[in-house]
């Protein structure tokens, strides 16, 4: 009995070293991936691409990840593959080298598909390991994990501004060294799982069977969550894919200046991600989801009519508030289906990528026909869907 109590206590402790290590892996992964949208102005110029083709690049990249992530998560819930994290990094590195030398639109699509494959392997398994290491602080672990990715995404535009845009498309292959560093780091994460994580997983699985809410509650919660993810990520992708073009067209900024503004927005997103999880641990995920999505509505409505400096400030505040929702969403969904944490993480990350991919493609078509400024006026109403968060059930009961 004493031995069981000690095992349970060990399984519920928070292993911060693993959480921060997996967050560092997320940082490296998303730093490399963020080179794709940050490099769009260069690719558009070099290959004479239209906005529709830019949207299709995002569709292939994020669509590849969205389709495969829930499948990878479902498989690894039953048969964990912690060393597959290193293989995902390898796929991303190969994709970057190919993108650096791509001379046609078709080769760009193949390159970003490989990078999307790496993402589909990394996110569900890494999120599952973060949950295992979290103990009784899943919101904190999910925020640290996600803020690592957001920090990498925020630095991508800086890397593009000072390296890729200055030295040309071929310099993208330099970041394959980052992939190699990520492979080494994630190899040691895999060793931790084999040594201690597997025992934690067995304990949490037994605990999850007793804590799972009724199936009808889980179905209702997941259905509403999907609608909220649609609202959040279509609005978010309008910034990640088209914010630089908006600033260049409306305010006549240079490509480097526009990428610096994108960095400010993405840095604010990283800050919001760090805030969302710990607050959710204290006041509940449902409240965080509600106020983060619905709360940006006044900002989104006024944004298309502001001058440059207020635009950059309001966009940053909106990104920070909106980003606080996603860690709470992931943990909320895992609370609804605690016996399938990897599949749930893969599903949500996959939906996020997939919805963003489809949204980017549609927004690209709209931008070609109506102009990029009109796109932001249309997207301003998306946060109104946050009203459905009032209907979310309490996953803790």
Q: Write down the domain spans for the chain.
A: 13-391
* Band (199; pLDDT cuts 50, 70, 90): low
Instruction: Tell me the average pLDDT of the chain.
Output: 82
Determine whether 214 is exposed, middle or buried from the number of CB atoms within 10 Å of its CB (0-12, 13-18, 19+): exposed
Per-residue pLDDT tens over the stretch 27-61: 999 888 888 877 788 888 888 888 888 888 888 88
Distances (CA, A) of 132 to 77, 136, 156: 12, 10, 29
Over range 345-366, report the average pLDDT.
80
Q: Looking at per-residue confidence, does 357 or 121 come out higher?
A: 121
- pLDDT tens, 166-176? 787 888 888 88
Q: Compute the average pLDDT of residues 80-92.
A: 85
pLDDT tens-digit readout, 200-219: 656 555 565 556 677 788 88
Least confident stretch, 138-147, 198-207, 226-235, 368-377: 198-207
Look up residue 58 and give its two tokens. Answer: 């995002």
- The 3-state secondary structure of 245-311 reads HHHHHHHCCCHHHHHHHHHHHHHHHHHHHHHHHHHHHHHCHHHHHHHHHHCCHHHHHHHHHCCHHHH
Q: Average pLDDT of 175-179?
A: 90
pLDDT in tens, 287-315: 888 888 878 889 999 999 999 999 999 99
pLDDT interval class at 193 (50, 70, 90) = confident
Q: Which CATH class is domain 13-391?
A: mainly alpha
Distance CA 269, CA 211 (A): 32
pLDDT at 395: 60
- pTM as predicted: 0.69
Window from 34-38, 140-144, 364-368 with minimum mean pLDDT: 34-38
């Amino acid at each position: 009995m004493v031995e069981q109590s000690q095992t349970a206590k060990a399984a519920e402790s928070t292993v911060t070293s693993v959480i921060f290590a997996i967050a560092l892996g997320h940082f490296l992964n998303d730093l490399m991936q963020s080179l794709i949208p940050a490099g769009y102005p260069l690719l558009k110029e070099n290959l004479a691409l239209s906005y529709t083709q830019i949207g299709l690049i995002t569709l292939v990249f994020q669509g590849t990840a969205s389709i495969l992530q829930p499948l990878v998560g479902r498989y690894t819930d039953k048969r964990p593959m912690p060393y597959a994290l290193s293989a995902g990094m390898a796929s991303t590195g190969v994709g970057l080298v190919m993108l650096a030398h791509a001379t046609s639109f078709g080769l760009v699509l193949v390159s970003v598909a490989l990078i999307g494959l790496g993402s589909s392997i990394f996110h569900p398994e890494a999120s599952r390991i973060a949950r295992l290491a979290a103990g009784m602080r899943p919101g904190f672990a999910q925020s640290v994990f996600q803020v690592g990715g957001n920090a990498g995404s925020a630095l991508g535009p800086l890397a593009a501004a000072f390296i890729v845009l200055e030295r040309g498309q071929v310099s993208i292959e330099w970041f394959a060294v980052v992939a190699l560093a990520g492979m080494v780091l994630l190899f040691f994460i895999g060793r931790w799982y084999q040594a201690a994580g597997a025992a934690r997983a067995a304990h949490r699985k037994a605990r999850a069977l007793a804590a799972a809410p009724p199936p009808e509650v889980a179905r209702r919660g997941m259905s509403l969550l999907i609608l909220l993810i649609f609202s959040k990520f279509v609005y978010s992708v309008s910034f990640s894919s088209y914010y630089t073009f908006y600033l260049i067209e409306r305010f006549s900024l240079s490509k480097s200046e526009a990428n610096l503004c994108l960095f400010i927005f993405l840095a604010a997103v990283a800050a919001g991600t760090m805030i969302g999880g710990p607050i959710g641990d204290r006041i509940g995920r449902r409240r965080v989801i509600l106020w983060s999505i619905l709360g940006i509505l006044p900002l989104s409505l006024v944004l298309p009519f502001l001058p440059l400096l207020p635009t950059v400030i309001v966009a940053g505040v909106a990104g920070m508030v909106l980003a606080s929702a996603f860690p709470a969403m992931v943990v909320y969904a895992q609370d609804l289906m605690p016996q399938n944490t990897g599949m749930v993480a893969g599903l949500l990350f996959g939906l996020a990528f997939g919805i963003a991919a489809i949204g980017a493609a549609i927004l690209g078509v709209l931008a070609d026909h109506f102009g990029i400024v009109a796109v932001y006026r249309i997207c301003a109403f998306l946060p109104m869907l946050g009203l459905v968060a009032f209907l979310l059930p309490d996953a803790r009961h």
